[in-house]
Structure 1
């Protein structure tokens, strides 16, 4: 009798494991196929969006802006690194032969060099650092001050790009900046 019960239990157990094991394997395959389909569709959508953004970036860069001088917003990711208050958050964007450069006037002479890229790359041999020029600003109260200004290459309008800086303390910092809202300056 014990033998029959054990055989019946083993048979039932084996039947259950075959039924549920195959079912979950099938569900797993279906789930994996669904995930693969979703991932493929997502990749296609992402590639389409990236292509559209690239086309959009090209259309907002120097191709749209004719050679000339513009006033443009200079946006940074830091309250410690920004244009001088007398400039109202703006710089002078120059477009010539399809290349854009923005002149920014800073708040002091404490930032001694800029680098269009990452701080790590700025410290390598042969890195071309942006050199400061002396700008004079006049505040609302009538006082004037000499501060550093820089001509920064702009790869595209409305797109963040890396800009590293080094101050008088000799430490490099990474920042993200962007240039937006160019408005032609009347001559």
Structure 2
């Protein structure tokens, strides 16, 4: 009887041991499956994030390219945005020695013809005898085309008049600085920076 009971207990113990081993294997398998699924999910998430970053970078690059193109187009169109005709425009300079006559209040007459612009400015005297669009070094090079003066009659606010020199200066673009060289009666060239802005159609 005791032997039978011992055999029964031994069988039961073996059964429990086998079930525990199987359960451990199933748990380990489930754990491994969970880890694999988590890794796959992380990899998928990383791929989505990388794709999103790449798309964002491409979109930003496209926007920058479009902005640069728009700015370039605006710069190109500024020279031809005016219809043919005459305008009053500001003639801005970097010097008190080279500027528009006070009777003209800093303005010149801008003429637009066939997409090309020229501004006529009346100066304060007849001391400046030539103007050149460019630097003084370029003005003194062989073949440089100097702008000759015109004689303009100026009427001041008190009714007095005077004769001064005026010049027709080519303008490539509005609101953009460009170099102008001048020479006076003493024969010395000087560099200046000028710009033309705020054109208003003349009646």
Deviations 1:132-161 (A, max 9, x none): 000000112221110000000000000001
Q: Which residue of 2 aligns with 1:140?
A: 157
Distance 1:133 1:66, change over 3 A: same
Q: Which residue of 2 aligns with 1:94?
A: 111
Query: Helix, strand or coil: the match of 1:55?
Result: helix
1:54 Cα offset (Å): 2.9
Report the number of matched residues.
142
Provide structure 1 residue ranges, at least 5 long, that are not aligned to the other structure: 1-44
Matched, 1:55 2:87: no
Distance 1:174 1:46, change over 3 A: farther
Query: Helix, strand or coil: the match of 1:104?
Result: strand
Query: Helix, strand or coil: the match of 2:143?
Result: coil
1:46 Cα offset (Å): 9.7
Deviations 1:88-133 (A, max 9, x none): 1100000000000000000000110000111101001110000000
Matched, 1:158 2:160: no
Indicate if the aligned counterparts of 1:57 and 1:157 stay in contact, CA closer than 8 A: no
More displaced stretch, 120-129 vs 135-144: 135-144
Larger relative contact order, structure 1 or 2 (CA cutoff 8 Å, min sep 6): 1
Between structures 1 and 2, the one with greater helix share: 2
Residues 24-173 of structure 1: pairs in structure 2 closer than 5 A: 51-62=69-80, 64-173=81-190
| Cα distance in 1 for residues equivalent to 2:134 and 2:202 | 28
Query: Helix, strand or coil: the match of 1:115?
Result: strand
Provide structure 2 residue ranges, at least 5 long, that are not aligned to the other structure: 1-62
Query: Based on CA coordinates, which of the two structures has the bigger radius of gyration?
Result: 2
Q: Which residue of 2 aligns with 1:177?
A: 194
1:51 Cα offset (Å): 4.8
RMSD: 2.0
Indicate if the aligned counterparts of 1:93 and 1:182 stay in contact, CA closer than 8 A: yes
Distance 1:122 1:51, change over 3 A: farther
